[in-house]
């Protein structure tokens, strides 16, 4: 995979619609006819490659998007789902059952954390939450029951970086499946290249990029995706988090500009992070030399896509953070909203929003402070102009 370029891989896919259209036709059926009864039986038994049986299992439109996402991540195949959580939960439930154990990063998406902490124990699945940047701590948490090592490439909201190659070595040594949520770093990082086994995305964020839908994907081997979709025992098939065909066609069209968007998000975020840090603000961005994982992240990325569009600044207190969020929104610098990957900048205070599932004392322990603001930097054309306007807001509130 040395010459692997995820955007070139997507570019190399060719589609022809039913009538020769440059976009594939959108499949508008929940069920499919069979010319012979025998083919129907074989399809339900999983023996008929290329036959569709029912759209909860797969549909032509979803398979097109699966193919594009598998090309991006360098996996054999993929399975799209109705949301990111709709990819994460079936994947983990397929890998683990009662009595099994997961070692997970403690700084993960709030919904994933809540699932592992509060919901998975109801199925008899326990999780140890660890500081994923300390490989010795990760390895020490592994028990004979551990089946899965789980992390985010760049964590939400603290932008900690997982050393995927290092984690992969540990996973292989202990026969674990390394599952990586790559939502914050599509194109920039290709986890499979670094030894991950399964890569997950919330398509809701950068990949779709227009904040008009939720969606998710699991990118993995054909064998694992077949198991997820198995009519008798597949967690995706049986729990039913299926993406609608209309939506998958729409997400695929947005994906065609992903490489351009990621480059611009990265350029703009790096620009602001460098200036805010120089101005004396406590700024966290993996592209800054001051970031604790800067070197390792620089060695992990496909460099042309940069260090991504996410950054945080700490403005000292929740009151100041809230005042700044409201002021920036009133100046049309972006939206006070959760989520990420939109064309406009989105900002929020994660301690009271997306990470509120995490108890306050645990937030403090992991360095999630009250005054922390998370930015998903937008596609602004003139980022110097944006910088000047943001700086003026900070000066008005005596933050700078
Ligand atoms: C948003 C997000 C999810 C959940 O995705 P949904 O599409 O909202 O279900 C999972 N992981 C990360 C890192 C996210 O940012």
Instruction: Say how many C-beta atoms besides its own lie within 10 A of residue 113's C-beta.
Output: 21
Burial of 321 (0-12, 13-18, 19+ CB in 10 A): buried
In a domain, 1, yes or no: no
The whole-chain average pLDDT of the chain stands at 94
Domains of the chain: total: 2
Determine the pLDDT at residue 53.
84
Average pLDDT over residues 10-34: 90
Mean pLDDT over 51-70 rounds to 93
Encode pLDDT of 73-131 as tens digits. 999 999 999 999 999 999 999 999 999 999 999 989 999 999 999 999 999 999 999 99
Q: How far is the CA of 202 from the centre of ligand 1 (A)?
A: 5
216 within ligand 1 shell (Cβ under 6 A)? yes
Q: Is 134 among the domain residues? A: yes
CA distance 248 to 30: 14
**pLDDT at position 245 over 80:** yes
| CA of 112, closest atom in ligand 1 | 10
Q: Given a cut of 90, is residue 339 above it in pLDDT?
A: yes
* Residue at which a domain ends, from 227, 255, 283: 255
CA 109 to ligand 1 centroid distance, Å: 7
Q: Is the CB of 370 under 6 A from ligand 1?
A: no
Q: How confident is residue 49, by pLDDT bands cut at 50, 70 and 90?
A: low
What value does the mean pLDDT take over residues 47-65?
Answer: 85
Q: Give mean pLDDT, residues 245-265.
A: 97
Last residue within a domain, chosen from 204, 232, 255: 255
The string of pLDDT tens digits covering residues 176-230 is: 999 999 999 999 999 999 999 999 999 999 999 999 999 999 999 999 999 999 9
CB-ligand 1 contact for 105 (6 Å cutoff): no
pLDDT of residue 39: 79
What mean pLDDT comes out for the span 32-44? 80
Using most ligand atoms within 8 A of CB, pick from 69, 80, 82, 85 the residue to mutate for ligand 1.
Answer: 85
295, 381: one domain: yes
Residue nearest to ligand 1 atom 1, measured at CA: 202
Residue of 82, 84, 199 to test ligand 1 pocket, by largest number of atoms within 8 Å of CB: 84
How many other C-beta atoms are found inside a 10 Å radius of the C-beta of residue 77?
Answer: 18
Last residue in a domain, options 255, 280, 299: 255
Band (366; pLDDT cuts 50, 70, 90)? confident
Region 129-148 average pLDDT: 97
- Give, using CA atoms, the residue closest to atom 12 of ligand 1: 109
Helix and strand numbers, DSSP H then E, in the chain: 15, 12
Residues 273 and 243 in one domain: no
Using CA positions, which residue lies closest to atom 5 of ligand 1?
A: 84
User: Looking at residue 342, which CATH number applies to its domain?
Assistant: 3.90.1150.10
Q: Both 72 and 217 in a single domain?
A: yes
Ligand 1 within 6 A of CB of 354: no
Q: What is the pLDDT of residue 47?
A: 59
Structural domain harbouring 63: 6-255
Percent of the chain with pLDDT over 70: 98
**313 in Cβ contact with 375 (< 8 Å):** yes
Would you state the pLDDT for residue 378?
98
pLDDT score of 71 more than 90: yes
Q: Look-up: residue for tokens 């038994």? A: 45
pLDDT at 46: 65
What is residue 51's predicted lDDT score, i.e. its pLDDT? 77
84 Cα–ligand 1 center, Å: 5
Average pLDDT over residues 238-245: 97
Q: Is residue 289 part of a domain?
A: yes
| 244-269 average pLDDT score | 97
SS3 134: coil
- For residue 339, the CA-to-ligand 1 centroid distance in Å is 8
pLDDT at 43 over 90: no
pLDDT band at residue 3 using 50, 70 and 90 as cut-offs: confident
Cis peptide before 157 (omega within 30 of 0): yes
Any atom of ligand 1 within 6 Å of the Cβ of 109: yes
Question: With pLDDT > 90 as the criterion, what percentage of the chain qualifies?
Answer: 85
Question: What's 197's domain CATH number?
Answer: 3.40.640.10
Among protein residues, the one with the nearest Cα to ligand 1's atom 2 is 202
Write down the residue that tokens 């990819």 correspond to: 87
pLDDT band (50, 70, 90) for residue 362: confident
Q: How far is the CA of 114 from the centre of ligand 1 (A)?
A: 12
Is residue 2 over pLDDT 80?
Answer: no
Which pTM value belongs to this model?
A: 0.95
Q: Where are the beta strands (DSSP E) in 110-244?
A: 126-130, 146-152, 177-181, 198-202, 216-220
């Amino acid at each position: 995979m040395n010459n692997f370029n995820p955007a070139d891989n997507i570019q190399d896919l060719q589609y022809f619609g039913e009538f020769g259209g440059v976009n594939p036709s959108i499949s508008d059926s929940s069920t499919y006819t069979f010319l012979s009864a025998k083919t129907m039986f074989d399809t339900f038994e999983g023996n008929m490659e290329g036959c569709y049986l029912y759209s909860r299992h797969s549909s032509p439109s979803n398979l097109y998007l699966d193919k594009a996402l598998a090309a991006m991540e360098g996996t054999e195949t993929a399975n799209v789902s109705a949301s990111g959580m709709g990819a994460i939960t079936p994947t983990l439930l397929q890998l683990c059952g009662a009595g099994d154990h997961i070692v997970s990063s403690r700084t993960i998406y709030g919904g994933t954390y809540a699932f592992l902490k509060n919901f998975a124990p109801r199925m008899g699945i326990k999780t140890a939450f660890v500081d994923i940047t300390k490989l010795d701590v990760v390895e020490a948490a592994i028990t004979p029951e551990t089946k899965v090592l789980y992390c985010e490439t760049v964590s939400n909201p603290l932008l900690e970086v997982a050393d995927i190659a290092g984690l992969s070595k540990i996973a292989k040594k202990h026969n674990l499946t390394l599952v990586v949520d790559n939502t914050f770093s599509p194109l920039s990082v290709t986890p499979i290249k670094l030894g991950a086994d399964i890569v997950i995305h919330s398509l809701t964020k950068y990949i779709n990029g227009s904040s008009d839908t939720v969606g998710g994907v699991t990118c993995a081997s054909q064998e694992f995706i077949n198991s997820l979709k198995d009519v008798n025992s597949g967690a995706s098939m049986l729990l039913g988090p299926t993406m609608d065909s209309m939506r998958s066609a729409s997400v695929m069209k947005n994906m065609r500009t992903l490489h351009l968007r990621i480059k611009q998000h990265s350029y703009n975020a790096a620009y602001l992070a460098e200036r805010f840090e120089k101005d004396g603000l406590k700024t966290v961005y993996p592209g800054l030399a001051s970031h604790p994982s800067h070197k390792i992240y620089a060695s992990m990325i496909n460099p042309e896509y940069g260090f991504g569009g996410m950054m945080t600044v700490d403005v000292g207190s929740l009151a100041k953070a809230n005042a700044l969020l409201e002021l920036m929104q009133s100046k049309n610098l972006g939206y006070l909203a959760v989520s990420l990957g939109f064309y406009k900048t989105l900002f929020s205070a994660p301690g009271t929003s997306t990470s509120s599932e995490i108890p306050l004392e645990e937030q403090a322990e992991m360095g999630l402070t009250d005054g922390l603001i998370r930015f998903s930097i937008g596609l602004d054309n003139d980022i110097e102009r944006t910088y000047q306007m943001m700086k003026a807001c900070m000066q008005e509130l005596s933050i700078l």
